């Protein structure tokens, strides 16, 4: 029997329990998560003050009160302490401020160290903003790539988006409201015209899904509040959900025809590429610009 599937009255088996907590709606805390947080010998929290408020709000009473902090600045230093707890046969729970720990939150180094030391790392699944956003936004859910928070430096963010531009995957990442407009503008420049969804305040009272296209950001409402999960759909083939060699050939033929028309109109290659991208969905300005260079 899996050691974390013990009866409700039994103590927890030793190990690191990675516990998902609600991202907005407290009712999403699972009974299993509540049981683990009640019984754990120690609780590691990204923010101990927020953790304390969360436990009081949900009336989770622990036999051993108190929390240990685990955040990006002290995670490596915490590893020996946690390994010693596990060596003594204790059960240690890890939580983040909200959602599933480790995913864009501290905990990866700890989980890896526990595995390497031979201790169990036990997931207690539950709310996860990327999964919630993908399940309801209406964009293709698979394959998808979760990018966490994009780098603050524009150049690094550009490189990250460019690296994933041609994978055929939906991209999911978190963004702050004050950087949202700039980030989407950068995404439009790097990825071309794709569908996107702004998923804000997920599972909360003011939950909202704002849909749009990167090629028409001027039509989108970007001045939003709350916590935002951004979903950007994959590059379409020929402007629709087309598959197979025939569909791709049709898209290429259309692109070549429009490129010829716009080149005849004149203008610098970059401007021509932008005009073509506006007329032919599914091809980025960068790709068209490169094609124009190869075609003379």
Domain of 99: which CATH number? 3.40.1010.10
Tell whether 249 and 283 lie within a shared domain.
yes
In this structure, the answer to whether residues 228 and 144 fall within a common structural domain is yes
In a domain, 77, yes or no: yes
Q: Is residue 122 part of a domain?
A: yes
Residue 44 lies in a domain: yes
Residue 86 sits in the same domain as residue 147: no
At 250 the pLDDT is: 55
218-274: pLDDT as tens digits = 888 898 888 899 999 998 754 444 344 444 555 666 788 888 888 888 888 888 888
- 8 confidence band (pLDDT: 50, 70, 90): low
Query: Of 83, 107, 127, which marks where a domain is finished?
Result: 127
Question: pLDDT value at position 283?
Answer: 75
In a domain, 215, yes or no: yes
Same-domain status, 46 and 66: yes
Share above pLDDT 90 across residues of the chain, in percent, rounded to a whole number:
67
- Per-residue buried b or exposed e for 141-175, using 16+ beta carbons within 10 Å of the residue's own CB: eeebbbbeebeeeeeebbebbeebbeeebbbbbbb
Would you say residue 237 lies in a domain? no
Q: Is residue 104 part of a domain?
A: yes
Residue-number span of the structural domain to which 163 is assigned: 130-232
- The whole-number average pLDDT for the span 96-122 is 95
Q: Are residues 116 and 139 in the same domain?
A: no
pLDDT score for 244: 41
- Asked if residue 214 is part of any domain, the answer here is yes
pLDDT of residue 7: 57
Per the structure, the count of domains in the chain is: 3
Last residue of a domain, one of 127, 153, 184: 127
Residue 283 lies in a domain: yes
| Same domain as 77, residue 36 | yes
Strand partners, 228: 175, 200
Q: Higher pLDDT residue, 161 or 243?
A: 161
Quote the pLDDT of residue 293: 75
> pTM for the whole thing?
0.76
Q: What is the mean pLDDT of the chain?
A: 88
Same-domain status, 74 and 103: yes
Task: Kindly report, residue by residue over 180-206, the tens digit of the pLDDT.
Answer: 999 999 999 999 999 999 999 999 999
Q: What percent of the chain has pLDDT over 70?
A: 90
Q: Is residue 26 located within the same domain as residue 87?
A: yes
Q: What is the pLDDT at residue 269? A: 87
Residue 54 and residue 71 share a domain: yes
287 and 226 in a common domain: no
């Amino acid at each position: 029997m899996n050691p974390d599937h013990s009866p409700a009255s039994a103590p927890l088996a030793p190990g690191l329990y990675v516990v998902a907590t609600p991202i907005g709606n407290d009712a999403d805390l699972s009974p299993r998560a509540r049981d683990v947080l009640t019984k754990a010998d120690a609780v590691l929290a990204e923010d101990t003050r927020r953790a304390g408020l969360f436990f009081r709000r949900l009336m989770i009473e622990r036999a051993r009160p108190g929390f240990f902090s685990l955040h990006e600045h002290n995670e490596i230093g915490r590893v020996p302490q946690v390994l010693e707890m596990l060596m003594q046969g204790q059960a240690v729970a890890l939580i983040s401020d909200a959602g599933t720990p480790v995913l864009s939150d501290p905990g990866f180094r700890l989980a890896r160290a526990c595995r390497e030391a031979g201790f169990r790392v036990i997931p207690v699944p539950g709310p996860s903003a990327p999964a919630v956003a993908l399940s309801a936004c209406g964009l293709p859910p698979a394959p998808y790539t979760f990018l966490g928070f994009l780098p603050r430096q524009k150049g690094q963010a550009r490189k990250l988006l460019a690296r994933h531009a041609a994978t055929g995957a939906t991209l999911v990442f978190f963004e702050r409201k004050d950087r949202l407009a700039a980030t989407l503008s950068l995404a439009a420049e790097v990825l071309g015209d794709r569908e996107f969804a702004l998923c804000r305040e997920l599972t909360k009272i003011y939950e909202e899904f704002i849909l749009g296209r990167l090629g028409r950001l001027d039509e989108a409402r970007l001045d939003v509040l709350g916590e935002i999960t951004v979903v950007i759909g994959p590059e379409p083939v020929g402007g629709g959900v087309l598959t197979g060699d025939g569909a791709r050939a049709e898209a290429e033929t259309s692109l070549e025809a429009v490129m010829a028309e716009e080149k005849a109109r004149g203008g610098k290659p970059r401007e021509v590429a932008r005009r073509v991208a506006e007329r032919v969905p599914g091809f980025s300005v960068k790709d068209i610009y490169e094609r124009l260079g190869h075609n003379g």
